[in-house]
Amino acid sequence: MNTAKHIKYFQVAQGVWGMKILFVNVYIIANRRGFPKGWVLVDTGIQGHEDQIIAMAESIFGVGAKPSAIILTHTHSDHAGSLKALLKNWDVPVYAHELELPYITGRSSYPPPDPSVGGGLMSLASVLFSRGPIDIGSNARMIDVEKGVPELPEWKILFTPGHAPGHISLFLPLNTTLIAGDAFVTTKAESAVYVLSYIKKLSGPPMYFTTDWPAAAASVKMLAALEPRIIASGHGPVIRGREAQESLQQLSDHFDQEAVPADGRYVDDSTRADENGTYYIPPFKTSFKFKVAVGLISVVAGFVMARQLNRRSR
C-alpha cells in the first residue's frame, strides 16, 4: 500500500490501482505498453473527495496527471459524488451506460432506497444518500457495450443491471481481472462495521439500493461464468485466485438465498427505467419487523459509528 503524501492506495493488478474512500472504492486503470498511452478513472466516490483522488493520480503518474476519461459503473451518489468537482480540474469525457445517462444529465432521479432490508446501519442511513440528478452537460458520453471505451481498448464493458438500471462492470480477459462495481461486493454492504473496517465477505449487491433482483441475479451468473481470478468491487477488499472464483460461483448458485432479502420494497416488484430515467417505482410498505429494527439499530447507531471512525483516526 502506497502512503506517499498521506494518500493510501493499493495495487489490484498490473496497471490497476484502487483506493478506499470511507466505505467505497475508486479505481485507476492504465493502458499497457503497445496500446494508446493514458489512464482512466473508474467511479469517483462520495462527494467532497476530489482532492484525494487527484492526489492518488499524481502519486502514480506525476504532478498534473489527468485521465483520458472517467468511466462510471453506475451513478449512485457514492460512485459519482465527486464527479462534478473533478470535472472542474479534468475536462474529460465521462462514460456511462445509456440507462444511467438520465441521472447525470439532469433528467431523472434514482428510485428511493429501501432501508428495511439488510438489517444494518448502512441500510438505515441510505435514506440520507442523494438520489440526484446531477448534470455534467456535454462531458457525458454513452458507452457502446459492444465496442467498449476507446480510451481503454483492452477492457471489455459488461452490461450488469440489477443494482442500477444501466450498471456496467469491466473485465480484462488477459488476466481475468474484474472490476465489478456493485453488481456484487466483497464485503457486507449493509453493515457499517463491515464496510468501514473493510471486512472481506463476497456478497450480493447492496440490498438497500438494488431495485431489480431478477436482473441482479442474471448479472452475477454471467460474471461468475467468466471465472475471474482478480475481483475488485465497489465496496470491500480485493479477492484473488481460487477464493475469488469459488466464492463468486457460490453466490451465483445460491443467489436467492444469500443475496435477496426475504421481503422488501423491490423484492416482488422491480423498478422500471428507460433512456429517459425511472418511470415506475413500487410502493413502500412498512412492516412491524422494520419498525422494531429501526428502534434497535438507532439505539446503537451513534456508538457503532463513533467507534469505527475513532479506530480509523488512530
**DSSP, residue by residue, 77-114:** HHHHTTHHHHHHH----EEE-TTTGGGTBTS-PPPPP-
Q: Tell me if 267 sits within 8 A of 282, measured CB to CB.
A: no
State pTM to two decimals: 0.90
The predicted pLDDT at position 81 comes to 97
Q: Which residues contact 94 (CB under 8 A, 6 or more apart)?
A: 69, 70, 71, 72, 83, 87, 104, 136, 139, 140, 141
The predicted pLDDT at position 284 comes to 85
The predicted pLDDT at position 5 comes to 52
- Cα-Cα-Cα-Cα dihedral of 255, 244, 159, 45, to 10°? 100
Instruction: Report which of 136, 4, 104, 123 is spatially closest to residue 57, judged by C-alpha positions.
Output: 4
The predicted pLDDT at position 33 comes to 87
Cell numbers 463476497 label which residue?
A: 202
Q: What is the mean pLDDT of each run of 10 residues along the chain (314 residues)?
A: 69 98 97 91 97 97 97 98 98 98 97 95 94 96 96 97 98 98 98 96 98 98 98 98 98 98 96 98 71 50 51 51
b (16+ CB within 10 A) / e for 191-209: bbbbbbeeebebbbbbbbb
For the chain, what is the largest distance between any 2 Cα atoms, rounded to a whole number of angstroms?
Answer: 60
- Residue 145 CA neighbour count, 13 Å, CB half: 12
The predicted pLDDT at position 295 comes to 52
Strands 239-240 and 230-233: antiparallel
CA angle 206, 208, 209 (to 5 degrees): 75
d(CA 154, CA 85): 28
The predicted pLDDT at position 3 comes to 44
Instruction: Report which of 212, 108, 221, 223 is spatially closest to residue 165, judged by C-alpha positions.
Output: 212
b (16+ CB within 10 A) / e for 260-269: bbeebbbbee
The predicted pLDDT at position 259 comes to 98
Q: How far is CA 313 from the centre of its chain?
A: 24
Q: Is the peptide bond before 133 cis (omega within 30 degrees of 0)?
A: yes
Which residues is 156 bridged to in the sheet? 171
